[in-house]
Amino acid sequence: MKTAGIVLAGGQSSRYGRPKMFEQYKEKPFYQHSVDVLSANGLHPIILSTNRFLADRFDLSGVELIVEPTPHQGPLFALHHAISQFGEPEWFFVLSADIPFVREAFIDQLLLHCHPDYNAVVPAEGEKLQPLLALYHRRCLPYMNEALGEGRRSLMALLHKIPFKTVSFENEPSFININTQLDFQKHNKSN
């Protein structure tokens, strides 16, 4: 089973005030933490999905850059575009670019749950699903097309249409995403 990694790094960062994927944590930009844990778990290729406004700011060592044809259309559009560009991998592990505390063990744990009965493997903490840190099978493409055709942009819209497995976690630091500079100050002190 070939599994690729996708880092979604094309958001507007409107609450942060500047492109947060380039903020530094432990001497690396946020997005690089996502790239590194996907690589460390043997996923290939590692795909970085972004927009034309940010594309020239990334270090492309070890990644395939995908530029979304229309910027800021949401994660479902970005994921659909990235999967459509790569014909070989069956599964795609998606991470957002604003989760600098993501752990290799978290990736490894989710990879254990890939199964032909499911089109996605989605982690959860309590009742809260984490669709931006999940695995999606290429079988999702027609359902993505359907959701996008309905004007939907979130990955939750996709999950309402497909069979998926939920994997429960408690107090998982990988789920900490940075939306504001205050978030980063708070979590940077505790990690």
CATH, residue 109: 3.90.550.10
Specify the pLDDT at position 115.
93
Whole-number Å distance between alpha carbons of 177 and 16: 12
Specify the pLDDT at position 182.
75
Specify the pLDDT at position 17.
63
Domain count for the chain, please give it: 1
For residue 164, the enclosing domain spans: 3-190
Specify the pLDDT at position 13.
63
pTM check: above 0.85: yes
Q: Which are the contacts of 165, defined by CB distance < 8 A and separation ≥ 6?
A: 113, 115, 117, 118, 120, 121, 122
Blockwise average pLDDT, block size 10, the chain, 191 residues? 92 70 91 96 96 92 92 92 94 94 95 96 96 97 96 95 97 82 70 62
Whole-number Å distance between alpha carbons of 174 and 119: 22
